Structure 1
Amino acid sequence: MFATTSHLSAALVALSALTAHAQNAFSGAVGFGAIATGGNSGTTYHVTTLADSGAGSFRDAVSGSNRNIVFDISGYIVLNSAVSLSSSITINGQSAPGKGIGVMGAEVSASGKNNIIIRNLRMRQGRLDDDSGKSAFNMGKATNVILDHCSVEYGQWDSIDAVGTINITVSNSIIALPIGQQFGAHVETGPSTFYRNLWVSAHNRQPLSKDNTQYLNNVVYNYQAAYTAANTGGYFSHDIIGNYFIAGPSTTSTSNDYYQMNNKQSVYASGNYLDSNKDGALNGAAANTVGSALVLSSPWQSTSRSLATLTAAEAVTYVLANAGASPRDEVDAYVVSSVLSYGTNGSLITNQASTGLSNNGYGSLS
């Protein structure tokens, strides 16, 4: 199927700034993961079957490095076991015809790999996977990874696991409805950029940032604990700009929009809003108080202000219209509809089937 853990040193900060400016992944890529080169200069592999393995399969496509992967088919690829990516690959989910492409039933893993670009891919683990210690997407100990316009739902351990990962961007994506631990994303090492994402109905870790982080123009709905640093995470810096936290039916303490932000953390927080009243309308107030963290007078990362171009209210409008894999499917429409209730709908779940959606809760892409 072939065709042709301390604050960063001054030196590392300088290197991170260069990384944040690099945009090698694709036009419009931002943040620390944008330095990823993927398989853009390699051979093109056409995925031609929804089968789990064999010639023309997704599993075969990601088994070799230096590959630019495109899809000639649409629908769900049902994984019988976790699939491991190779280094230096680009996954172009936007190339799929019709209603797009997704994988379901097991973990997608870039663990220990480098230079990974994934766009417009749905990754939905769910209860089809009998290994509750796996995540929907795992990039532990990877380097230079960017997820853009992806939809990550029904993760059992985490939606996104990025422990020990260097240079991460998650942008324009939906991270929602985790089951099992009900956690969003766990990041250690970094640095990381979370940009214009929609986080919905998680218990915690939206994300858990044990690293130096840019958190820009995100929307978090129906949280129990939203942006989290953790009491034992170490000394890190956080730019938190233009985000909107919206309480929902599962929110037990609205003040946990920032969670475990202790005096080991240095935070620049500006333009963030919290809608705490669950009254069916978006009508929040400024929310830039970050626990006992050291308050920074300017961002730790030089690009943060220039990337956070939306107000918190504008971020809600933009993210609800644009986040996730395209075209928007049944699962993502369900997620967005709960947010649009602005406090009256939504719940934490333990099984994707409880959504009542077709295909045992996974929805249909055919």
Structure 2
Amino acid sequence: MKYIAPVPTSTPTPPPPGTACANPANGYEGFGNASGGAGKNIYRVTNLNDSGTGSLRDAVAQSSRCVIFDVSGVINLSSDISIMGSFVTIDGFTAPFAGITLNNGGLRIRGGNGAHDVIVRGIRVRNAPGDGFNIANGAYKVAVDHVSVSNSGDGNIDITQPGTRDVTVSWSILANAGLDTGGGEKNMLLADRSTRMTLHHNLFTKSSSRNPQLSYDDTTDPVSAKIVDADTSLDMRNNVITEGVTRVRNGGRANIVNNYYFGGSGSIEILSPGGAHTSGNVSKSGVNLNIGSIQTALTAPAIATTDAVSAACAVFAGAGVRPLDSIDNGNLSQISLACGPVPSPTPTPISAKFSLGDKVKVIQNVNVRQTAGGTLFGVQYTGSLGTVIGGPQYAILPSNGQYYQWWNINFDNAPDGWSGEDYLEKYSDVSPQTPSVKITYPVANSTLTSKNTAVEGTCSNYSGTVDVFYYSDKKEETFVQCVSGKWSIPNLSINSNAGSGSFDLYAIVYPPTSVSVQDIIKLYFNWSDAPSITVISPNGGESWAMNSSQTIKWVSHGTHVTISLVSLDKTKEVYGLLGSIPNDGSETMWLPSDLPLGQYYLRVRCVGNCTSSAQQYDDSDAPFSIVAQIAPTPTINAIASYISGTIDKVGNTGGINTDAPDGINDEHILLGGVSGTISKVRIAGSSGGIWETPYNGSNWIVGLRPQSDPSKVDLYFNFWRQASSYTVSITFSNGATQTIPVSVPVVQPTPTPPSGVSVTLNLVGNPATGPYTLEAQTSVAGDIKVEFWVDGNLYRTENFYPYTLFGDNGSSFFTGTLGQGSHTVSAKVYGQNSSTLLAEASTAINDGNISFLVPSKSALAIVFDQVDELKFIFERLKFLLR
């Protein structure tokens, strides 16, 4: 039969008292006993406007207000209304007969707007695009009473986010939410660490789920890592749920008491971790729903509670905004409820086989399920151990129709979940002995004279990782396995520039079933007489792959150092890894792909403000290896192809030109057909020059400009060599690579006449004894060429356009030997297409029989500013002593 309102068997919340915004005599029941705007300034809503003076939106724009209504009807909203403060009551009961309805917008009660001690009663909310009521962001002490919410795009009433607490929703109707996902799914969500919520005497209807859904820890952490609420998340009593599920999961804890469900088995769902105390709940079909995992009710404020059927009749007679509008009347008319004696469900047998916290053992292979009798998670095999964290629940197994006693077990190994008690037994074992760890070498309080030391130790009742480091901030942290009671580190670097001092050395183990255990010893060091420059890492035996990021560590005097690879006989610096860099003791670099493979010593040399009496360089204690990059073997997930490109303003580009998104006045290569994520790009020009992203510290930089079409990407880069052919190498995020040959048209510019020309030659060091550096610096606005002369002979001409530089092998432009004696070196500056000498600088060198070499292409740098003013800085034209 259709519902006919009976004479209620319990008294609903009385109508509001005559005084506006006055609260019930004992306040609102439950956690949300808010004081609201009682006794505060009265604001009269005098129109149904969306905003402006006399509107509801203006009424709640400040704290401490009692909002009453001189009008009734529908307020059509352009957006949600936010309550901007505390101690506010919206008293819809004060409106004339038709009441107040908010349409096309909801109410937002959020702690970020200062909302607390808020009461909303006697209003309807219809067709909100998002939530009908959004209580979130740390709001607290909120009471929502005698409201009706339906047809919301998301949840009808959602209470979420950390800090949101002490909320009561009572005597209200929630129907037909979740319209943005097809409707009927989202009556109420309680999630994301909200807690201490009360729901009583509410009607949940026309929603297949979230009636309500309590999900305390809504992070993406795995179930095993979810946090369980230490408080009572929810106290839910005397509500009516006509369809769908009340669900508790992800660490929520609830009382679900004396509620009336029209559905049968599965109307209450409790998922681990989390739990609920269930009692007095009634199913219209007579199925027992009281299968909660917590035996004793959780602490919550007292609420006047009746049996489920009597409460259901009272809800139908008194919930919502009276008189009911056509929407509420239509929803209630579709519900059949016979108000009569409370059916007596079959008593649930209660097992006492286990207690919470008991250790159990699987005596026969047992299925593990998500809920009691629910979805299969997996199998635990005979001998598996676990701990009881919930139960018992007496529930049916649908596959065979039999009832079992189920216990929620946290097994030592996954999966965890609910298992039948017939396959489990109590298990007790001897308590494991406390693990220990000890440092046996170096001996405590001993003095170290070397910056590299072995560290050894023992462990007992433990097999796992030992964490070793010095100083409390974990310098040189190293993890080593303890095997058969012993562990060791062959070489721990003590990176300190101080000549002497002390430090604490730590060794810590982290047992899985107990707190961490550590050993700490005091060590002293004194290396005042040790070499004044020391390579720390790599120090021998390492293998470094090309195209990889590596960190070099050292201790040195002076302000700057260079780092190079040295031949095995230590007679030749084979490859310069890093030019002059600050002496900060550590440098991370990207190893280029053109390194010569083999074994080398690593040399660190002081080159800036060095102490003349100290050692000038140091080599690693033993050789280490440069090995080829391990080729990735993943599937290529993109087929990129060249579309177009332009090399523009050759010889006059000021770095990366990012102000031309369409590629004009820019050096760029447009690729298409990209279906994967690009993690690295390398561009090699046919006449030299390499551009890379990510920047490796020596090459030039490539920028990636995404396009509106996600299958295209524009590569832009600063061009300083005339070329039209390139090789583009792409590395995708899965490690796959692709190489694309590219031919790009070159736009030739008109040289700019130079102005403001000057040139200087600066000699640093002693040519007679070496080493020394001859620097040539030219400043100019416009395009130039530079000639270098030695003893009156022209040996090299450098043109900015077209620009040509020596190769990557460090070959010199002067191949002979000067011989001992005085020599003259000159730099002459001309306009690019002119024979007119603009500036000249010369210097005399008293040479000690050396060769005039340029060590590598990095010895020449070009720097530009943003307005096309350029500076040539030719660094380190080195005269290297042989």
Return the offset for 1:107: 2.2
2:274 to 244, 265, 286: 265
Q: Contact between 2:265 and 2:289, CA under 8 Å: does it hold in 1?
A: no
CA deviations 1:223-265 (Å, max 9, x no partner) are 2xx21123xx22x321111101113xxxxxx433112x12322
Trace 1:86-101 onto structure 2 (pairs within 5 A): 86-88=84-86, 89-101=88-100
* The one of 325, 333, 336 aligned to 2:332: 336
Q: CA deviation at 1:338?
A: 1.7
**Aligned partners of 1:308, 1:295: CA distance in 2, in Å?**
22
In 2: Cα distance, 1:320 partner to 1:66 partner: 34
Give the C-alpha shift of residue 269 in structure 1: 1.1
Matches within 5 A, 1:164-313: 164=161, 165-178=164-177, 179-181=179-181, 182-188=185-191, 189-211=194-216, 212-223=233-244, 226-230=245-249, 233-234=250-251, 236-247=252-263, 254-259=264-269, 261-276=270-285, 284-290=286-292, 294-296=293-295, 298-303=296-301, 306-313=302-309
Within the candidate set 146, 158, 163, 1:161 is matched to 158
- How much identity, in percent, do the aligned residues show? 32
Q: Aligned equivalents of 2:237 and 2:117: distance in 1?
A: 23
1:150 corresponds to: 147
State the 1:285 CA deviation.
Answer: 4.6
> Unaligned stretches of 5+ in structure 2?
1-21, 217-232, 339-882
Equivalent in 134, 138, 163 of residue 138 of structure 1: 134
- For 2:30, the equivalent position in structure 1 comes to 31
Cα distance in 2 for partners of 1:322, 1:205 equals 23
Contact 1:87 1:115 in 2 (8 A): no
Give the superposition deviation at 1:286. Answer: 4.0
Give the aligned residue type for 1:338.
Q
Instruction: Decide whether the 8 Å contact of 2:254 with 2:298 is kept in 1.
Output: yes
* Distance in 2 between residues matched to 1:91 and 1:79, nearest whole Å: 17
Q: 1:228 to 1:321 in 2, by over 3 A?
A: same
Amino acid in structure 1 at the alignment position of 2:316: L
- State the secondary structure of the residue aligned to 1:33: coil
Counterpart amino acid of 1:242?
N
- Flag the structure with higher helix content: 1
Instruction: Classify the secondary structure of the residue corresponding to 2:278.
Output: strand
CA distance in 1, matches of 2:140, 2:305: 27
CA contact (8 A) 1:217 1:308 kept: no
Residue of structure 2 aligned with 1:42, choices 21, 40, 43: 40
The letter of the residue matching 2:89 is T
- The one-letter code of the counterpart of 1:315 is A
Deviations 1:11-52 (CA, angstroms, capped at 9, x unpaired): xxxxxxxxxxxxx95435100011x22122320001110111
C-alpha displacement of 1:109: 0.7
Query: Displacement of 1:341 after TM fit?
Result: 6.6
Partners of 2:313 and 2:49 in 1: how far apart? Answer: 37
Report the more deviating stretch, 261-270 or 115-124. Answer: 261-270
Query: Offset at 1:170?
Result: 0.3
Contact 1:207–1:227 (8 Å) recurs in 2: yes
Cα pair 1:216 1:308 within 8 Å, conserved:
no
Letter in 2 for 1:301: T
Distance, in Å, in 2 between the alignment partners of 1:136 and 1:263 is: 30
Could you tell me which amino acid in structure 2 is paired with residue 69 of structure 1? V
Instruction: Give the TM-score taking structure 1 as reference length.
Output: 0.74
Query: Residue 46 of structure 2 contacts residue 70 of structure 2 at CA under 8 Å; is this kept in 1?
Result: yes
Quote the Cα distance in structure 2 between the aligned partners of 1:242 and 1:160.
Answer: 22
Please give the alpha-carbon distance, in whole angstroms, between the structure 2 residues aligned to 1:163 and 1:201: 22
AA in 1 matched with 2:324? R
CA contact (8 A) 2:31 2:300 kept: no
Name the Cα RMSD after superposition.
Answer: 1.9
1:215 is displaced (CA, Å) by 0.5
Per-residue deviation at 1:150? Answer: 0.6
1:316 lines up with 2:312 in the alignment? yes
Paired residue for 2:125, among 108, 114, 123? 123
Contact 1:52-1:58 at 8 Å conserved across structures: yes
Distance 2:160 2:75 in 1: 26
Q: Find the aligned partners of 1:338 and 1:295 in 2 and give their Cα distance.
A: 35
Rounded Cα–Cα distance in structure 1 between residues aligned with 2:243 and 2:253: 25
3-state SS in 1 of match to 2:207: coil
- Which gives a bigger RCO, structure 1 or 2 (Cα 8 Å, sep 6+)? 1
Counterpart-to-counterpart distance in 2, 1:155 and 1:229: 23
The 3-state SS of whatever aligns with 1:206 is coil
Shift of 1:270: 1.1
Cα deviation, residue 191, structure 1:
0.8
- Pick the aligned partner of 1:114 from 101, 113, 116: 116
Q: SS at the partner of 2:320?
A: coil
Paired residue type of 2:235: Q
* SS of corresponding position for 1:109: strand
- Residues 48-90 of structure 1 show CA distances to partners (whole Å, capped at 9, x for unaligned) of 1011111111111111111000011111111111111122210
Secondary structure of the corresponding residue to residue 180 of structure 2 = coil
Between Structure 1 and Structure 2, whose CA radius of gyration is higher? 2
> Contact 2:235–2:300 at 8 Å: present in 1 too?
no
State the SS of the aligned residue for 1:30: coil
**Separation in 1 of the partners of 2:85 and 2:201?**
26
Partner of 2:265, secondary structure, is helix
Sort the Cα spacing of 1:256 and 1:25 in 2 relative to 1 into closer, same or farther, 3 A.
farther
The superposition leaves residues 264-291 of structure 1 with CA deviations (integer Å, 9 ceiling, x where unpaired) of 2232211101124xxxxxxx4542124x
The residue type paired with residue 64 of structure 1 is Q
Which residue of the partner structure matches residue 60 of structure 2? 62
Q: CA 1:82 to 1:103, structure 2 compared with 1: closer, same or farther past 3 Å?
A: same
List per-residue Cα deviations over 1:117-151 (Å, max 9, x = no partner): 0011111125xx4xxxx211101121111100011
- In the alignment of these two chains, the number of paired residues is 287
Offset at 1:309? 2.1
Displacement of 1:308 after TM fit?
A: 5.0
Runs of 4+ in structure 1 over 6 Å off: none
